[in-house]
Structure 1
Amino acid sequence: MNVHHRNNIRMQGSGPATLVFAHGFGCDQNMWRLMAPRFADRYKVVTFDLVGAGQSDLDAYDGAKYSSLEGYADDLLEVVRDVAAGPAIFVGHSVSGMIGVLAELKSPGTFAANVMIGPSPCYIDDGDYVGGFAREDIDSLLDTLDSNYLGWASSMAPAIMGVPERPELSEELSASFCRTDPDIAKQFARVTFLSDNREDLAKLRTPTLIIQSSEDLIAPPVVGRYVHEVVPHSTLRVVENVGHCPHLSAPDACCDAIEAFLDALPRARAG
């Protein structure tokens, strides 16, 4: 299968290093439109759709393969091997942050640097670990998705996006949720919200930037601090933003954080 067709790969810019952007649950690569072009003057910039999202090849969706994040990590490695020129830097939003971790652990050295925006290795509180949700909260969320996905999408989008003064962003997120095949979205939600990648974080050796919103319903600040404490070579940057999608609601702050991080990495610098 042609990986470009499967994942609807889009490329822009040029440079000695490649930036690969991966979107989160219920979204597609269009969510990077405010950030990705900013890097195209110094990097080869790659965006793509996870299988089941956006304009990916829905015929490639395999319920067994994508019953865990490992299936998406395998796809990511294929994308990088196909498109990367020079060092590859991965930028993943939300669940894609963990997909990037799994890909790097499967193939160490794939990424020269790793950027996670709003990551969470585990959404469920567990002993001293605070993920932001009790197990019954997640079970209720998944039950609602199963019974009324479109209703969930329209009601939850404003809470996830935040920034009530910009309702157009909530409307965009809701529309993105609603464009996703409900059955695929339900399975991806279950895989996302029931995943636990805490043990994987400590194995990561790639220089990593964690971008954390100051207020985030899905991945609260305590989770960003946890990721920073566990990932050995990590930097935490908190951006003033309410919501889980700072790449849309605070793109300049996110770009500034990424540029400062990359400029300190000689192998990832674009000249």
Structure 2
Amino acid sequence: MNEAQRRRVLQRHSVRVMGQGIPMLLCNGFGCSQRIWQHLTTALVAHYQVIVFDYVGSGESDLSAYSPQKYATLADYAQDVVEICQALDLREAILVGHSVGATIGMLAAIQAPQHFAKVILLAPSPYYLNEPGYYGGFERADMLQVLASMENDYQGWTIAFADLLMGPTNMASLGEELTNFFCETDSTIARQFAQVAFLSDNRADVNQLQLRTLVVQCTDDVAGPAEVGAYFLQHLPQGELVTLSTSGHCPHLSAPLETLAAIRAFAA
């Protein structure tokens, strides 16, 4: 990758590099910009070189770089992560991915393991739908209804979906914070990304991740139930599982200190 290509990649994804030390690359979940990590980055920067970025279509990314054909699978998003690693010449990095970003990060680490030392998956799921012998949390008909509601009323959908992900026991302000992130994402791109994210089946990829991997689950997570954690633990070659006391799908919002402790313990 020459210097011009490197600059284009970094600008396309609004890549920010903060701090010094072992590199730690943070991969956002669906509909979120790099700001979703703001409750963790100050503490992490004290010990790591933290890299954050935006997927094309969210945050301050280059919207002109998006097309439905270019981003038709999660592997296409993973390719962007690999290109960011190439542009920064990352080595022995710790990859932290949340939700759909965990799957994207997993695919990137499978494709280009030379960039990474360890992988941390926050509230991950390789497949969100229920199938015979597998519980992902959502019936296909229910998920299709969720996706259809995005088309009919995107603003209303952001509120309802954020509340669903945060769960009933977390403060309402956390749901509002997540809603704001969804609202910062281009709605047309978000709808297309959601189709890719929530209908993709990446279960067959899990056992290809050869790096030491920590799965961080929450209690009562509608999008990452306990059965999914058990699936990861069964199929990851070097998998470990930690269940946090916080509920919902976004531990970096609902329990940043507990999440930080899990990340630091594994990264060390």
TM range (shorter): over 0.9
Match of 2:115 among 87, 110, 126: 110
State the partner residue of 1:156: 161
Q: Secondary structure at the match of 1:20?
A: strand
Shift of 1:248: 0.9
Shift of 1:138: 1.1
Asked whether 1:45 is paired with 2:50, we answer yes
Partners of 1:32 and 1:68 lie apart in 2 by: 24
Partners of 1:247 and 1:4 lie apart in 2 by: 25
Asked whether 1:6 is paired with 2:6, we answer no
Counterparts of 1:158-197 in structure 2, within 5 Å, are 158-162=163-167, 164-197=169-202
The total of aligned residue pairs comes to 262
Shift of 1:41: 2.1
Contact 1:104/1:111, CA 8 A, preserved across alignment:
yes
Contact 2:125/2:228, CA 8 A, preserved across alignment:
yes
Shift of 1:165: 4.9
Structure 1, unaligned runs of 5 or more: 264-271
Shift of 1:191: 0.3
Structure 1, residues 17-39: CA drift from partner, whole Å, max 9, x if none?
Answer: 20000110111111101112212
Counterparts of 1:120-139 in structure 2, within 5 Å, are 120-139=125-144
Partners of 1:28 and 1:196 lie apart in 2 by: 24
Give every structure 1 segment of 4 or more consecutive aligned residues whose post-TM-superposition deviation is greater than 6 Å: none
State the partner residue of 1:266: none
- Name the aligned partner's letter for residue 108 of structure 2: A
Match of 1:230 among 216, 231, 235: 235
Shift of 1:166: 2.2
Contact 1:153/1:174, CA 8 A, preserved across alignment:
yes
Structure 2, unaligned runs of 5 or more: none
State the partner residue of 1:206: 211
Contact 1:158/1:164, CA 8 A, preserved across alignment:
no
Shift of 1:85: 4.6
Asked whether 1:97 is paired with 2:97, we answer no
Partners of 1:236 and 1:78 lie apart in 2 by: 29
Contact 1:163/1:249, CA 8 A, preserved across alignment:
no
- Name the aligned partner's letter for residue 235 of structure 1: E
Structure 1, residues 89-130: CA drift from partner, whole Å, max 9, x if none?
Answer: 110000011111211222233211001001000111111101
Match of 1:68 among 70, 73, 77: 73
RMSD: 1.3
Partners of 1:225 and 1:32 lie apart in 2 by: 26
State the partner residue of 2:124: 119
